Amino acid sequence: MKIHLENVVKTFESFQAVKGVSLDIESGELVALLGPSGSGKTTILRMVAGLEYADGGAIHFGDQDATDIPVRDRGVGFVFQHYALFPHMTVADNIAFGMKVSKVKRDRAAIDRRVADLLRLVRLEGLGDRFPAQISGGQRQRVALARALSVDPKVLLLDEPFGALDANVRRDLRRWLREIHSELGITTLFVTHDQEEALDLADRVVILKDGQIVQQGTPQEVCRDPKSAFVMKFLGDANVIAAEVKDGRAHVGGLSVEAAGVADGRGELYARPSDIDWSEEGPGITAEITRVLDRADGRRVLATTDAGEALEFDVEPERVVKAGDAGFVTLRRAKVFAAG
Amino acid sequence: MSIFSTRRKPPRVGDALLFRRSLIGIVFVLVAFVIIAPLVIIGVEAFSKGWQLYRDTVIHPDTLHAVMLTVLAALIAVPVNTVFGIAAAWAITKFDFWGKRFLLVVIEIPFSVSPIVAGVAYLFVYGLQGLFGPWLDAHDIKILFAVPGIIIASMFVTAPFVARELIPLMQAQGRDLEEASTSLGASGWRTFFSVTLPNVKWALLYGVILCNARVMGEFGAVSVVSGNIRGQTNTLPLHIELLYHDYNATGAFAAASILALIAVFTIIAKVALERQGAGRVRKQTNPAEKTS
């Protein structure tokens, strides 16, 4: 089911949470709404679900205008951050609930069969008789997904689905959700503030800030070509170095970086920790190491430039560096934006 | 194990032993004098002139009528206030509307105002010189000094009980469960009966029991509006006072013992419910947010 949002607006009392968002989600696509808290991502998801009504604009499901269809009749599956499982019902009853209240009447045996199928799909065979309080957080979220899928939704919506889980469980569930999506091919929209989750899981990432879309594209597009300093910073660790822009190039400490389209004047260089090299000899930006953090996959170096900018970058595990070393920083690649 | 060691150590947390014991002692003494002693006296005095007189008082038509009237008031006031409490809690916790905070405060008023004030206020609303008095009199509807007045006064005094039990719990539970239910296609009624009600049922029962206990024991407001007509508008608490004023102490105690007995059953029911997880103890936990 194709979803089309046309200039959607939502205001809570005096706070404008969503300021005119237009978005197309293709049938069968898996799309992430990514943004910091207060960016309006959950509000957009809830408007697509029908849990909130849009104050302005329109939401289309396929050819149908769904803007004013209540959640009950909208045919969406919604997965809540805190699962929202019915605590007084068993896992199986939770999954069966949607089928029992449905206008489409199913007999008991058909419901039981479907519950068993869904339990198999979310790999929770044998846990149907447990109560939500008796299973782990990751299992609860899988029950919540099975329950959302039980009513054959046209669209699957997930609100920070892994937000309440610890890191390992989250990574497993991410892969698993991707597999389920491939298997069912259902149009899926999920909200997250975790850029790694969005990039790992989604076909397309929509980045939001202050109720507006700032950039959207495949993970590759947004990572390789961030269009703004906000996106650059939000997608991962970024070092910021002040530079002078002149005639389409940025200059700092004897280095020169391509800066097409940036106006002359003060600019900022953005570089990922992996984009920075360290050497004892120039040319480069002079800096002094303040601290070295040893990690499983390498050494993270914290340094300060002469201008007082804090830098973070990685060196090979064998590299001998220590706090107090002076040297030069060079850039493998960097993005230049006008100073904000 | 430090509590078995012979060396005296200051407690790791809290107060010294002497302080702790004297505090506990004071509480026990106060409980004995303030609560236990009067209860025992009720039992002793009720039977002081023998079983025969006790039985005579209890089965006296005026006493029986008072009991029936008290039960009638409870049978009407408790269900009405239960429905009111559920509706109020539902409205306040699940919807946003103008005047919500005001409504929360108003619901609490019967708790803070003296029942006798409520009784007097009803006199001015429904009394002959009151707001609706002449109209009611013209249509021959008797509210004051009649059963309707007793029931209305009881309802006023006990209005907050159910709502107060439900509101904090339903607030803690949030709207997620209802939203989940609706998104799965359930109607509002279905959501209420299948999802909301089962999750608040213990708190609801707890509120109903407290409400019932209060209706049956209410004296102040009812005494103003009932007119104390023996065998007609006398509830059990009023009847006890009447017997006492008749210098029939044994009778008063006998009637009081019925009320005390009801109270004891109420407490047993309340404790049993608390074991099931109702009451204030678990209010803060949100089943939807109990992770891992």
| CB-based contact, B154 to chain A, within 8 Å | no
Q: What is the 3-state secondary structure (H, E, C) of chain A?
A: CCEEEEEEEEEECCEEEEEEEEEEECCCCEEEEECCCCCCHHHHHHHHHCCCCCCEEEEEECCEECCCCCHHHHCEEEECCCCCCCCCCCHHHHHHHHHHHCCCCCCHHHHHHHHHHHHHHCCCCCCCCCCHHHCCHHHHHHHHHHHHHCCCCCEEEEECCCCCCCHHHHHHHHHHHHHHHHHHCCEEEEEECCHHHHHHHCCEEEEEECCEEEEEECHHHHHHCCCCHHHHHHHCCCEEEEEEEECCEEEECCEEEECCCCCCEEEEEEECHHHEEEECCCCCEEEEEEEEEEECCEEEEEEEECCCCEEEEEECCCCCCCCCCEEEEEECCCEEEECC
Cα angle, residue A135 at apex, residues A134 and A137 outer, rounded to 5°: 130
Residues of B whose CB is below 8 A from A78: 179-180, 183
Residues of A whose CB is below 8 A from B199: 86-88
Contact state of A49 with B289 under an 8 Å Cβ cutoff: no
- Closest-CA distance, B268 to chain A, in angstroms, reads 25
Task: With beta carbons less than 8 A apart as the criterion, state whether B195 and A86 touch.
Answer: yes
- Closest-CA distance, A202 to chain B, in angstroms, reads 24
Task: With beta carbons less than 8 A apart as the criterion, state whether A254 and A282 touch.
Answer: yes
> How many other C-beta atoms can be found within 10 angstroms of the C-beta atom of residue B24?
10
Straight-line distance from the first to the last Cα atom of chain B, in angstroms, rounded to the nearest whole number? 32
Contact state of A84 with B291 under an 8 Å Cβ cutoff: no
Chain A contacts in chain B segment 70-129 (CB below 8 A): none
Query: How many whole angstroms separate alpha carbon A171 and alpha carbon A194?
Result: 12
Give residue-wise pLDDT tens across range B94-142. Answer: 888 888 889 989 998 898 889 889 888 888 888 777 778 788 888 888 8
Q: What percent of chain B has pLDDT over 70?
A: 91
Give the three-state DSSP class for B72: helix
**Chain A residue with the nearest C-alpha to that of B199:** A88
Mean pLDDT, chain B, integer:
85
Give the per-residue pLDDT at B283.
38
Sheet holding A56-61, edge to edge: A15-25, A3-12, A56-61, A64-65
Partners of A270 in beta bridges = A240, A335
Contact state of B176 with A84 under an 8 Å Cβ cutoff: yes
* Largest CA-CA distance found in chain A, in angstroms, rounded: 78
Both tokens of residue B240? 């006890």
Both tokens of residue B187? 């109607």
Q: ipTM score of the complex? A: 0.85
- Closest-CA distance, B288 to chain A, in angstroms, reads 5
Residues of A whose CB is below 8 A from B177: 84, 86
Chain A residues whose C-beta sits inside 8 Å of any chain B C-beta: 49-51, 70-74, 76-78, 80, 82-88, 97-98, 101-103, 132-133, 136-137, 147-148, 150-151, 164, 166
| CB-based contact, B180 to chain A, within 8 Å | yes
| CB-based contact, B172 to chain A, within 8 Å | no
Which of A50, A51, A101 is the closest to B184 by Cβ?
Answer: A101
Query: How many whole angstroms separate alpha carbon A270 and alpha carbon A333?
Result: 9
pLDDT grade, residue B291 (50/70/90)? very low
| DSSP classification of residue B194 | I
Task: With beta carbons less than 8 A apart as the criterion, state whether B158 and B211 touch.
Answer: yes
Per CATH, the homologous superfamily of domain A3-230 is P-loop containing nucleotide triphosphate hydrolases (3.40.50.300)
- State residue A268 phi and psi, 5-degree precision: -130, 135
Contact state of A88 with B182 under an 8 Å Cβ cutoff: no
Q: Domain coordinates of chain B in residue numbers? A: 1-46, 50-289
Query: How many whole angstroms separate alpha carbon B181 and alpha carbon B184?
Result: 5
Contact state of B183 with A71 under an 8 Å Cβ cutoff: yes
Query: How many whole angstroms separate alpha carbon A119 and alpha carbon A142?
Result: 9
pLDDT by residue for chain A (340 residues), tens digit each? Answer: 899 999 999 998 888 999 999 999 999 999 999 999 989 999 999 999 999 999 999 999 999 999 989 999 999 999 999 999 999 999 999 999 999 998 888 899 999 999 999 999 999 999 999 999 999 999 999 999 999 999 999 999 999 998 878 888 888 889 889 999 999 999 999 999 999 999 999 999 999 999 999 999 999 999 999 999 999 999 999 999 999 998 889 998 888 888 888 888 899 999 999 999 999 887 889 999 999 999 988 899 999 998 899 999 999 988 889 899 999 999 998 999 988 7
**Chain B residue with the nearest C-alpha to that of A94:** B181
* Largest CA-CA distance found in chain B, in angstroms, rounded: 84
Residues of A whose CB is below 8 A from B282: none
Task: With beta carbons less than 8 A apart as the criterion, state whether A45 and B137 touch.
Answer: no
Query: How many whole angstroms separate alpha carbon A117 and alpha carbon B28?
Result: 61
Write A177-185 long-range contacts (CB < 8 A, 24+). A177/A145, A177/A201, A178/A30, A180/A121, A180/A122, A180/A145, A181/A30, A183/A121, A184/A149, A185/A28
Spatial neighbors of A170 by CB under 8 A, at least 6 apart, are A162, A197
Give residue-wise pLDDT tens across range B155-212. Answer: 999 999 999 999 999 998 888 999 999 999 999 899 999 999 999 988 898 899 989 9
Nearest alpha carbon to residue B240 among B256, B227, B225: B256
- Closest-CA distance, B289 to chain A, in angstroms, reads 6
- State residue A153 phi and psi, 5-degree precision: -70, 150
The stretch B265-276 carries a mean pLDDT of 81
AA identity, residue A80:
F
Task: With beta carbons less than 8 A apart as the criterion, state whether B177 and B241 touch.
Answer: no
Give the three-state DSSP class for B277: coil
Tell me the pTM: 0.80
Contact state of A97 with B287 under an 8 Å Cβ cutoff: no
- Closest-CA distance, B290 to chain A, in angstroms, reads 8
Give the per-residue pLDDT at B195.
93
Straight-line distance from the first to the last Cα atom of chain A, in angstroms, rounded to the nearest whole number? 41
Which of A51, A98, A136 is the closest to B185 by Cβ?
Answer: A98
| DSSP classification of residue B159 | T
| DSSP classification of residue B184 | T
Give the per-residue pLDDT at B282.
42
Query: How many whole angstroms separate alpha carbon A149 and alpha carbon B147?
Result: 56
Contact state of A101 with B185 under an 8 Å Cβ cutoff: yes
AA identity, residue A265:
G
Give the per-residue pLDDT at B56.
86
Task: With beta carbons less than 8 A apart as the criterion, state whether A215 and A335 touch.
Answer: no
Residues of B whose CB is below 8 A from A133: 287, 290
Task: With beta carbons less than 8 A apart as the criterion, state whether B157 and B77 touch.
Answer: no
Strands A239-246 and A249-252: antiparallel
Which of A83, A98, A164 is the closest to B184 by Cβ?
Answer: A98
Peptide bond just before A283 cis, omega within 30 deg: yes
**Chain A residue with the nearest C-alpha to that of B289:** A82
pLDDT grade, residue B5 (50/70/90)? low
Give the three-state DSSP class for B287: helix
Partners of A315 in beta bridges = A299
Strands A326-331 and A239-246: unpaired
Spatial neighbors of B244 by CB under 8 A, at least 6 apart, are B252
Task: With beta carbons less than 8 A apart as the criterion, state whether B146 and B233 touch.
Answer: yes
Contact state of B288 with A84 under an 8 Å Cβ cutoff: yes
As a CATH number, domain A237-338 is: 2.40.50.140
Q: Residue B143: pLDDT above 90? A: no
| CB-based contact, B260 to chain A, within 8 Å | no
Residues of B whose CB is below 8 A from A147: 180, 184
As a CATH number, domain B50-289 is: 1.10.3720.10
Task: With beta carbons less than 8 A apart as the criterion, state whether B287 and B172 touch.
Answer: no
> How many other C-beta atoms can be found within 10 angstroms of the C-beta atom of residue B177?
23
Strands A64-65 and A76-79: unpaired
Q: Domain coordinates of chain A in residue numbers? A: 3-230, 237-338
